[in-house]
Amino acid sequence: MLPDRQWVGGMVFDESGDVICGGRDGIVALDPHTGETRSILTEVDGKPVIAVNDMEADGRGGFFAGTIDFVSIMEKGEPPAPGAFFHMSAEGDVTVLRRDVFASNGIAFSPCGKWLYHSETSRGIWRYPLADNGLPGAGDLLVSEEDGDGLAVDREGNLWLACWSTGRLMHYSPEGAALQALSFPYPHIVSIAFGASDPTSLYIATGGNEDVRKAGAVLRMKVEVAGLAGARSSLRAMVK
């Protein structure tokens, strides 16, 4: 599916059966049965989107996502321009939460639903309180970790963080204290997610580099505390 789509850093399953995919130039809705796509988002703040990275459904029909300047990172070898962290409602309304994100990555929620977590490469994991309308208030830096990428949370509120350039998987308490640091024989740990049918399985996506190109793999690791199930979006007015 989507053989020509670049930089798909995140996906959300929609109640319609479509798959909402990030990537180069924005967000599309993919019908997995026909392969047809429809554009969902190409601009944020009136500016064309270079790429959308990680995404996470909010449990209210919408989702959170972040933009990233992969052109500078991947094609020019330069530091990226600041990106946006934003929310799209089930009706398609976009609320920009931050405009100064270095590299937007993993997004997750606490088990109680009161906190939103956002991994920003070069900074760490941000924690935001969620208001009654589902949007976050002012956040604080819960974990300082310059290497963070994908993010997942278990049922006890512990956070798992993929570390891009060091091939590590970090495990933190809800208060941000380091619990474990696991190393893997891969150049990059890119993304992590708990299994749906077996939430005690943590799936780990790896990546290669110029020296080790064939290092992309999906690993499965058993964990003691089950992970949280992800929600689905419900963008019925937009995807059909």
User: What is the DSSP secondary-structure string of 157-195?
Assistant: S-EEEEETTTTEEEEE-TTS-EEEEEE-SSSEEEEEEE-
Q: 90 Cβ partners below 8 Å, 6+ apart?
A: 60, 61, 62, 233, 234, 235, 236, 237
Give the number of domains in the chain. 1
Q: Is residue 52 part of a domain?
A: yes
Q: Is residue 6 part of a domain?
A: no
List per-residue pLDDT tens for the chain, 240 residues long: 888 999 999 999 999 999 999 999 999 999 999 999 999 999 999 999 999 999 999 999 999 999 999 999 889 999 999 999 999 999 999 999 999 999 999 999 999 999 999 999 999 999 999 999 999 999 999 999 999 999 999 999 999 999 999 999 999 999 999 999 999 999 999 999 999 999 999 999 998 766 666 778 999 999 999 999 999 999 976 655
Q: Is residue 32 part of a domain?
A: yes
Q: What is the pLDDT of residue 30?
A: 96
Q: What is the pLDDT of residue 1?
A: 86
Domain, as residue range, for 166: 11-239
Helices (H), 16-152: 70
Q: Is 137 exposed, middle or buried (0-12, 13-18, 19+ CB in 10 A)?
A: exposed
Backbone φ, ψ for residue 76 (5° rounding): -105, -15
Q: Is residue 140 part of a domain?
A: yes
pTM, full prediction: 0.95
Q: Is residue 4 part of a domain?
A: no
Residues 108, 239: Cα–Cα separation, whole Å = 24
Helix (H, G, I), strand (E, B) or coil at 226: coil
- What amino acid is encoded at 200 in this protein? T
Q: What is the pLDDT of residue 218?
A: 95
Q: Is residue 1 part of a domain?
A: no
Q: What is the CATH number of the domain that holds 96?
A: 2.120.10.30
Query: Do 122 and 134 contact (CB within 8 A), yes or no?
Result: no
Q: Is residue 3 part of a domain?
A: no
Give the tokens for residue 226: 């089950």
Q: Is 108 exposed, middle or buried (0-12, 13-18, 19+ CB in 10 A)?
A: buried
Q: Residues for the chain: how many in total? A: 240
Q: What is the pLDDT of residue 238?
A: 65
